[in-house]
Structure 1
Amino acid sequence: MSDFQTTTEPVARKLHSCCECRGHIEPGQKYQLTAGCWEGDMSSFKTCLACVEARDWATAQPEWCGDGEHLFYFGMLEEDLSNLAPEIAPGDGRRFKAYRMQSQIVHRRFPAKAKKAA
């Protein structure tokens, strides 16, 4: 639980790194900035809009299991999606969507390797 936090969607004026995929947030792109105090420590997290969309989708799924205290932890979206996907029934398109979002996170993290593989 946070002591307090605020979330905004500024436009990047310089290059930033997403806390989830660690991909680039380029100047001129919007991103989500969450700043606050957790257990007495001030922190801020910059998240690209693609990861925000993936996080919002994942946390809205009925199979999503928070730890009871936190809905999610910043920086763990890829792992959370990999844990969520097997919980969704086989043949349900949402399972494929969870794996696809996880793969997209990896591609944003390693864009050069993704281009080589294609």
Structure 2
Amino acid sequence: MGDFQVKTIRKARKPHRCCECHGLIVPGQSYEHVAGVWDGGADRFKTCMHCVEAREWAIAQKEWSWDGEHLFCFEALGESLAGLAPEIYPGDGRRFRAYRLRCEMQNRRRTSVQH
């Protein structure tokens, strides 16, 4: 958690890049905008709704914890999903979902580079 942060859902008026998958957020699409101060430095992050949903799913998993509290760092969702997947019991489909979400992020990055 930062010193303070403000989270809003916005509708893009111009193209942006998602801070997680680096995919294109096109005009008209909704995205999450978080601005705040962390460790004394101001920053802002724009996240596509696909990555917001992936982050919320990952944080809700009981295997995602550190000293009993859920932590999250912007710009690290892909690595976090890759680290989370092996920790999940393989029999209930959640491990597959973690890998699938990671692959979807990579596909959005590849697709946006081609445009």
User: TM > 0.5 between the two?
Assistant: yes
Scaled by the length of structure 1, the TM-score of the pair is 0.90
Gaps of 5+ in 1: none
Q: Which amino acid aligns with 2:36?
A: G
CA RMSD of aligned residues (A): 2.0
Deviation of 1:111 after TM superposition, in Å, equals 1.2
**Share of identical aligned residues, percent?**
57
Compare 85-94 and 39-48 and name the one that shifted more. 85-94
Deviation of 1:74 after TM superposition, in Å, equals 0.3
Q: Which amino acid aligns with 1:105?
A: M
Structure 1 segments (4+ residues) deviating >2 Å: 65-70
Scaled by the length of structure 2, the TM-score of the pair is 0.92
Deviation of 1:98 after TM superposition, in Å, equals 0.3
Gaps of 5+ in 2: none
Which residue is 1:78 aligned to?
78
CA contact (8 A) 2:59 2:70 kept: no
Counterparts of residues 1-118 of structure 1 (less than 5 Å): 1-66=1-66, 71-111=71-111
Deviation of 1:91 after TM superposition, in Å, equals 2.0
Distance 1:33 1:110 in 2: 23
